[in-house]
């Protein structure tokens, strides 16, 4: 029995393009982001992959990415579960700010700590550790059982919500995950062993 899990960060959004902290705000995909999502669907289709179930967040950039991928593999009507547990990290007071402007206001080092540390949150926001605290329970109770039952599962979400899953799947430390960046619209194909460990991983970059 194949235990297949595909993770995809959404395509480029309007706020990605403008270099803004996005978090739980809800900008749409850019034209480039649409193309990235469509290309992900084509790449997965070229591999002959089909899905039994899809998960995405409550944010439109992830939802549209998910739909473009499903369109690309010929499964436009596949059952798709939306859940806020998969939302992007909440950037709190940084939300909507240009990243360069934030560096000017708080300093390069402080903004770097907020962005890249594992457990230091920005003011009013979530650290990666906080994000993991809502993503991982949902993964364990809902997504992982689907995968382990043999349902080929797609998750289209966000850079930080997916980084928490990559941290667990790839068995990375809190220090190692700080240097991991996920490309927009790039599928990561995991196949799992019976004990939920990773049998193989392929990144379609």
| Residues 57-75: tens digit of each pLDDT | 999 999 999 999 999 999 9
- 167 — pLDDT class (breaks 50, 70, 90): very high
| Active-site hit among 10, 36, 126, 158 | 10
pLDDT over 90 (residue 203):
yes
Tens digit of pLDDT for each residue in 17-60? 999 999 999 999 999 999 999 999 999 999 999 999 999 999 99
Average pLDDT, the chain: 96
> Exactly one of 25, 35, 79, 88 is catalytic; which is it?
88
Spans of all domains in the chain:
4-203
pLDDT of 205 > 90? The answer is no
Pick the closest to residue 204 from 2, 28, 36, 14 (CA basis).
Answer: 36
Is 88 in the active site?
Answer: yes
CB 83 within 8 A of CB 58: yes
Mean pLDDT, residues 148-152: 98
Q: What is the 3-state secondary structure (H, E, C) of 82-110?
A: ECHHHCCCCCHHHCCCEHHHHHHHHCHHH
Mark whether 126 is an active-site residue.
no
> Residue 116 pLDDT more than 90?
no
Name the superfamily (CATH) of residues 4-203.
Phosphoglycerate mutase-like (3.40.50.1240)
């Amino acid at each position: 029995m194949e235990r297949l899990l595909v993770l995809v960060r959404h395509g480029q959004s309007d706020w990605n393009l403008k270099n803004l902290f996005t978090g739980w705000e809800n900008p749409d995909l850019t034209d480039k982001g649409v193309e990235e999502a469509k290309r992900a669907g084509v790449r997965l289709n070229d591999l002959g992959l089909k899905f039994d179930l899809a998960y995405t967040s409550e944010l439109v950039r992830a939802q549209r990415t998910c739909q473009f991928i499903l369109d690309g593999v010929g499964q436009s009507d596949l059952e798709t579960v939306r859940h806020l547990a998969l939302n992007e990290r909440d950037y709190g007071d940084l939300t909507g700010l240009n990243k360069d402007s934030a560096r000017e206001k708080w300093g390069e080092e402080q903004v770097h700590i907020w962005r890249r540390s594992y457990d230091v949150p920005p003011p009013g926001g979530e650290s990666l550790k906080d994000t993991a605290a809502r993503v991982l329970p949902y993964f364990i109770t809902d997504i992982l059982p689907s995968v382990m039952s043999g349902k080929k599962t797609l998750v289209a979400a966000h850079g930080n919500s997916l980084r928490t899953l990559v941290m667990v799947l790839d068995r990375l430390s809190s220090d190692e995950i700080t240097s991991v960046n996920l490309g927009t619209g790039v599928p990561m194909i995991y196949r799992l062993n019976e004990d939920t460990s990773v049998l193989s991983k392929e990144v379609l970059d």
